[in-house]
Amino acid sequence: MSIQFVDAVADAVSSLPEPYAITSSNNQFSVSIDGGSAQVITLTNGSARTAAQIVTDLSTLTSCTASVCAIGGVNYVRIRGTSSNGLSSTIAFNSPSNNSNTILGFTSGGNSYQTYTGGSISPTTFLGDTKQDLASGIETALNNAGWITVSGHASSSIVCQSSCTPASQNLRMQVKITTANSNTVCVSLQNVAGSHVGSNGSGSAVLLLPAAGKGFVIYANKYQAFVTVPGSVQTRDFGAWGVPYIPTWLQGVIWESAWLAGNAISDTDTSTRLTLRNSLTNAWWNGSQNSPNNQTLSNCYLADYGNQGGSGGGSSFGYLSLIAPQTAAWGSSFNPGEALWHDLSAVMGDALISWGLTFYGDMGLIRGQLWNSFISSDAYPCGLPITSLDSHNWIAITHNNTGTAGTMKGTLFVTTS
């Protein structure tokens, strides 16, 4: 098992690719690193400046490093801090006159939610009394984890952006958090360019139900998030999303990858479905109900579906699913997925995540690994803490998943500190 832990370094990658038209009206680059003084650099003017040329202009930056970030053959500008202090590692883009923020695609504004940080993995707890409380609570939790707010701070339509995973993985995503539904807050995924955008509405993506006095806990890091209601497996009480860790041989091969898993199909849904909250999959027919909503993004292919399945499932081997250790022999009379050691301790495995490329009917392939996570082959109640494993504390996301004839036993754990 090789758990992939997030780093604690602030990392800002521009959202716009080269070439850049730099003129005297947009040639002022200003950043403050770790709360230090503003470092102002005048970029070289030119109608088609490359990311490499911008990086050269930024060679005198201190306490951070500028580099070219290549994503899918397209070059962006990356500023990465040299300190590794989580929320105290910061990259703030200042907004002097004639600044280059917009032309390069850096978020600025001077507020904490607009500052790139090294992030935190501490859970965030808040009350979701209203849809706006819930939407703003999610935004705040993501900001605490190292996401930035791109637009709509504390509004009815908020867009947050993850940090970019380390070179040469270079994955990132945005989520759109809206309150337009009658009952629920909707969270959908999209790529940073906005060229692939998951549906956001009453029948799509993650749907979360607020209520007076209802507490939410978000377990997030700068690349992923799990939204939970403590102890609850109720529909519209769970959602998760993120960009995965990519193993070395797929780095550069996978240049766009994001996933989102809800546990409902509509704004009014109350049916219990097969989700990451009660199983290791966010998939199809659970014996009585169709799949919850899912959205995945793989190298320009957006899969956006929900309410799928039916008895037998059909050609449905591409649903979003985690990979779990199990013995190679199983059957209806056995504990599915059972894989315990001689001392009855659980076999643990990497939290690999798979999905079909274009929709749930494609073959599910492993797209990467969840950050700060592992899979245990045993069943535990959600919220169960585990201390001091790999020098971290953990909590069970999955609830009492003993498996069925069609799903495997096991539990997803994520870090809390």
Partner 1 sequence: MSVQFMDLNADAVGTVNDTYNISSSNDQLSVTIDGGSAQTFTLTHGSTVSASTVVSNLSGLTGATASVVTINGSNFVRIRDTSALGSSSTILINAPSSNANSTLGFTATTYTGGANVSTTFATSVKQDVASGIEDALNSAGWITISGHHSIPTVLQSSMSPNPQNLRMRVNLYASTNCLGVTVQNVSGTKAGTQGTSNGGFLLPSNASYQVIADKYQAFVFVPGSNTARGYVGFGVPAIPSFLQAGQSSVIYEAIWLNANAASDSDTTARGSFRSGLGWNGSSVGNCTFITNGNIWEVANNPTGGGNGTFALLNQFGNIFPGTTASWYRWHDTSAMLADPILFWGLTASTDESLGRGQLWDAFVSNESYTIDTALTSISGANWQNLTNANTGTSSTGRGSVFIVT
**Window 263-292: contact mask with partner 1 (x via CB under 8 A):** ----------------xxx-xx--------
Among 76, 319, 359, 413, the residue binding partner 1 under the rule CB under 8 A is 319
Among 95, 317, 384, 393, the residue binding partner 1 under the rule CB under 8 A is 317
End-to-end CA separation in angstroms for the chain: 19
Q: Name residues contacting partner 1, limited to 321-360 (CB under 8 A).
A: 321-331, 333-336, 338-345, 347, 349, 352, 354
**Which CB sits closer to partner 1, 46 or 247?**
247
Cis before 47? omega within 30: no
**Which CB sits closer to partner 1, 8 or 303?**
303
* Neighbouring-strand partners of residue 395: 385, 414
Q: How many residues does the chain have?
A: 417
Element housing 131 (H / E) = helix 131-145
Which residue from 75, 81, 95, 128 is spatially nearest to 26, judged by alpha carbons? 95
**Which CB sits closer to partner 1, 48 or 405?**
405
**Which CB sits closer to partner 1, 159 or 302?**
302
**Which CB sits closer to partner 1, 73 or 213?**
73
CB 133 within 8 A of CB 158: no
**Which CB sits closer to partner 1, 212 or 329?**
329
Nearest distance from residue 250's CB to partner 1, in Å?
Answer: 6
Nearest distance from residue 413's CB to partner 1, in Å?
Answer: 16
- Which span (22-30, 83-91, 166-174, 311-319) binds partner 1, by CB under 8 A? 311-319
Nearest distance from residue 341's CB to partner 1, in Å?
Answer: 4
Q: Does 386 bind partner 1 (CB under 8 A)?
A: no
Among 365, 381, 389, 400, the residue binding partner 1 under the rule CB under 8 A is 365
Q: Name residues contacting partner 1, limited to 215-254 (CB under 8 A).
A: 247, 249-250, 253-254
Q: Name residues contacting partner 1, limited to 389-408 (CB under 8 A).
A: 406-408
**Which CB sits closer to partner 1, 178 or 298?**
298
Going by their DSSP bridges, the two strands 206-208 and 185-190 should be labelled as: antiparallel
Q: How many chain residues touch partner 1 (CB under 8 A)? A: 52
With b for 16 or more beta-carbon neighbours within 10 A and e for fewer, the 304-313 pattern comes to bbbbbbeeeb
CA 160 – CA 138 distance, rounded (Å) = 10
- Which span (3-11, 64-72, 145-153, 363-371) binds partner 1, by CB under 8 A? 363-371
Cβ-Cβ contacts under 8 Å for 55 (sequence gap 6 or more)? 66, 67, 68, 77
CB 112 within 8 A of CB 22: no
CA 71 – CA 300 distance, rounded (Å) = 12
**Which CB sits closer to partner 1, 210 or 364?**
364
DSSP for residue 254: B
Nearest distance from residue 337's CB to partner 1, in Å?
Answer: 8
| Backbone dihedral angles phi then psi of residue 141, each to the nearest 5 degrees | -65, -45
CA 177 – CA 346 distance, rounded (Å) = 37
Nearest distance from residue 186's CB to partner 1, in Å?
Answer: 25
The pair of three-digit structure tokens given for residue 417, joined into one six-digit string: 């500190």
CB 132 within 8 A of CB 208: no
| Backbone dihedral angles phi then psi of residue 248, each to the nearest 5 degrees | -55, -40
Query: What residues make contact with partner 1 under the rule CB under 8 A?
Result: 247, 249-250, 253-254, 279-281, 283-284, 298, 313, 315, 317-319, 321-331, 333-336, 338-345, 347, 349, 352, 354, 363-368, 406-408
